[in-house]
Chains A and B, each alone.
Chain A
Amino acid sequence: MTSSELNADSEAMQSAAAPQREVIYRHTVVVRLTHWINALILLLLLISGLRLFNYHPALYWGNYGYAGVPAFISIAAFEDIETDEPVGVTTIMGHNFITTGVLGVSHDGKGEPVSAAFPNWLTLPGGLAFARDVHFAAAWLLVLNGLVYLLVGLSNGHFRRDLVPAQRELHPRHVLAEIWSHMRLRRARGEAARRYNVLQKLAYVIVIFALLPLMVLTGLTMSPAVTAAMPFLFDIFGGRQSARTIHFLVANLLVLFVLVHIIQVIVTGVFNNMRSMITGRYAILPEDGK
């Protein structure tokens, strides 16, 4: 869909009841489909990944790492000998934090303490073999879904037209103004609402072209068969355990992105945003004072 098509489409959507409220066709069917498939896959990857993490809840740098090697981040459960209560402790670069209730020790439905790095309600039920199966099957779907999205986005100009920020948008003054507008939770109106703002573009570009490929590559670095064929992956990421640590950290960034993304959807109008990602139609708010 080109921008002229968008305009033609939006003209057709004008209604007499709301003369100043224009509805445009915002998301192509490929974007909408791959978006929702991706959302489901990322959820599966997250909960199965956290379950896998729980089997060895420690992260290291370099090629080797096991119980006894100083960890960059670790999550453990200890017993308080005075109260006999389990205590969850998260250690980040040697600094200890008591995280009982969330990390290390959480509570089941009956309020009983359970020793688990990430709480059971956040992780895929079942054992290690099942979590591996789900994680790898979902990873294949992520790659296949991502390839469809990338091929279509490249061939129809979606990335160039809608995602790559224009030179003027990257001017510090413009970026700062956009940050200020975001901090006041201002909704885009009129012309500005027709396209993504520069922060949105940057976030999408970073997620699509940096974070998700990093997840795939660091994931592959953990496979002894893949590194037999591509040993340079060890050199790129600094070893198998470094790749595992980066995999975890980037997963956290993706979770942060999704949380901010959902907050933005709510702040800028749940109904309008959800409709645009389901039907493609997106209402443009009129400019102020009109």
Chain B
Amino acid sequence: MSLITRRSLIAGGSAAAATLVAGCEPISVTDPQSLRRILDFGQFLSLHAQRLLLTGQPLVREFSEADISPEFPPNGTERPNGMAYFRHIMSNFAEYRLTVDGMVNKPLSLTLDEIKAMPSRTQITMHSCDEGWSAIGQWTGVPLAHLLQTAELKPEARYVVFHCMDEMVRTPDNSGFYYESIDLFDALHPQTIMAYGMNGKALPVAHGAPLRLRVERQIGYKHAKYVNRIEAVDRLTHLGRGRGGFWEDRGYQWYAGL
């Protein structure tokens, strides 16, 4: 299965269910195909059970300032390599532009000051890493829904892709950059913001300066850092290796609500 789309998951899921119920097809952990189908069925159940649970779009718990953890471990890239990003640091992101494009009527190119002039939201939330640790921080940013509204999202758009400035793997075709994607269910949630402030200060380089995603109902690796382009798309198969994110292309779950 190349991507967790609803259709492919239903196909994979029902195949796995049929196998489990009827037992007519041999299941063997040494056969990667049938094992993969069972695991994909687990992902399918998690995504749909959690979406059912979140039908009313509840907000995640917001904590008080006293709950903020003394430290917040940076994860993944702590400072992107390359002169392009280093120049941003030297100029304090004066030349930085956020592009919002893809399936929108009015593509945007915004400076950091223009983003900061937009409506903002500040929230104190918990960050949960798939390794098991968690930290609490305060984030200030523009709601992603506002950016998408301003750019006038086209009705056929289904996913929002975050292109990042940190190159994880050096490749000849420049395909080793971090990227992530979420669907509109999470993209339009009020607590999904593009954060430029952390704990009352400018977002530090180690945490993704100048702009990072906060998608509070998902696990840490979905929270793309160093974002300089937001692209609205109707499918994810043409990006990277087609699974919707840098880690997803390397075996991680596209839906990371758990």
Task: Please list the residues of chain A having a beta carbon within 8 angstroms of any beta carbon in chain B.
Answer: 52-53, 55-56, 58, 63-69, 127-130, 132-134, 136-140, 222-231, 234, 240-241, 244
Bound Cα distance from A108 to B187, whole angstroms: 46
- 20 A-B pairs within 8 Å (CB atoms) are namely A55-B131, A65-B133, A65-B134, A66-B71, A66-B73, A66-B134, A68-B73, A128-B130, A129-B252, A133-B42, A133-B253, A139-B42, A226-B53, A227-B60, A228-B61, A228-B216, A229-B53, A230-B53, A231-B60, A240-B126
Which of B43, B61, B135 is in CB contact (< 8 Å) with A227?
Answer: B61
Q: Which of B59, B67, B129, B133 has the most chain A CB within a 10 Å cutoff?
A: B133
Q: Which of A128, A132, A224, A229 has the most chain B CB within a 10 Å cutoff?
A: A224
Determine whether B58 belongs to the interface, using a CB cutoff of 8 Å to chain A: yes
Bound Cα distance from A68 to B217, whole angstroms: 25
Residue-wise, chain B 226-258 has the 8 Å CB interface mask toward A (1 for contact) of 000000000000000000000100111100011
Bound Cα distance from A148 to B129, whole angstroms: 33
Determine whether B211 belongs to the interface, using a CB cutoff of 8 Å to chain A: no
Bound Cα distance from A97 to B30, whole angstroms: 39
Q: Which of A127, A130, A133 has the most chain B CB within a 10 Å cutoff?
A: A133
Q: Report A69 CB to chain B, min CB distance, Å.
A: 8
Binding site secondary structure of chain A? helix
Bound Cα distance from A231 to B125, whole angstroms: 12
Contact of A224 with B216 at beta-carbon distance under 8 Å, contacts A64-B134, A231-B60, A231-B61 already known: yes
Residues from chain A with Cβ under 8 Å of B129 in the complex: 56
Q: Which of B39, B134, B135 has the most chain A CB within a 10 Å cutoff?
A: B134
Residues from chain A with Cβ under 8 Å of B54 in the complex: 225, 228-229
Which of A52, A63, A129 is in CB contact (< 8 Å) with B126?
Answer: A63
Contact of A64 with B41 at beta-carbon distance under 8 Å, contacts A128-B131, A132-B253, A240-B126 already known: no
Contact of A224 with B133 at beta-carbon distance under 8 Å, contacts A66-B73, A127-B251 already known: no
Does the CB pair B58–A228 fall under 8 Å?
yes
Complex interface residues of chain B between 186 and 223 (CB less than 8 A to chain A): 216-219
Determine whether B38 belongs to the interface, using a CB cutoff of 8 Å to chain A: yes
Q: Which B residue's beta carbon lies closest to that of A65?
A: B133
Bound Cα distance from A140 to B17, whole angstroms: 12
Does the CB pair A225–B217 fall under 8 Å?
yes
Binding site secondary structure of chain B? loop
Residues from chain B with Cβ under 8 Å of A133 in the complex: 39, 42-43, 253
Q: Report A125 CB to chain B, min CB distance, Å.
A: 11
Residues from chain A with Cβ under 8 Å of B45 in the complex: 140
Residue-wise, chain B 4-28 has the 8 Å CB interface mask toward A (1 for contact) of 0000000000000000000000000
Residue-wise, chain B 159-185 has the 8 Å CB interface mask toward A (1 for contact) of 000000000000000000000000000
Determine whether B142 belongs to the interface, using a CB cutoff of 8 Å to chain A: no
Residues from chain B with Cβ under 8 Å of A139 in the complex: 42
Residues from chain B with Cβ under 8 Å of A244 in the complex: 132
Which of A56, A129, A138 is in CB contact (< 8 Å) with B132?
Answer: A56
Does the CB pair A129–B250 fall under 8 Å?
yes
Determine whether B136 belongs to the interface, using a CB cutoff of 8 Å to chain A: yes
Bound Cα distance from A137 to B135, whole angstroms: 26
Does the CB pair B58–A64 fall under 8 Å?
no
Residues from chain B with Cβ under 8 Å of A55 in the complex: 130-132
Which of B39, B67, B217 is in CB contact (< 8 Å) with A224?
Answer: B217
Does the CB pair B130–A63 fall under 8 Å?
no
Bound Cα distance from A66 to B54, whole angstroms: 28
Does the CB pair A137–B131 fall under 8 Å?
no
Residues from chain B with Cβ under 8 Å of A65 in the complex: 133-134
Q: Report B147 CB to chain A, min CB distance, Å.
A: 22
Bound Cα distance from A226 to B219, whole angstroms: 12
Does the CB pair B41–A137 fall under 8 Å?
yes
Determine whether B63 belongs to the interface, using a CB cutoff of 8 Å to chain A: yes
Bound Cα distance from A69 to B58, whole angstroms: 30
Bound Cα distance from A228 to B60, whole angstroms: 4
Bound Cα distance from A33 to B181, whole angstroms: 41
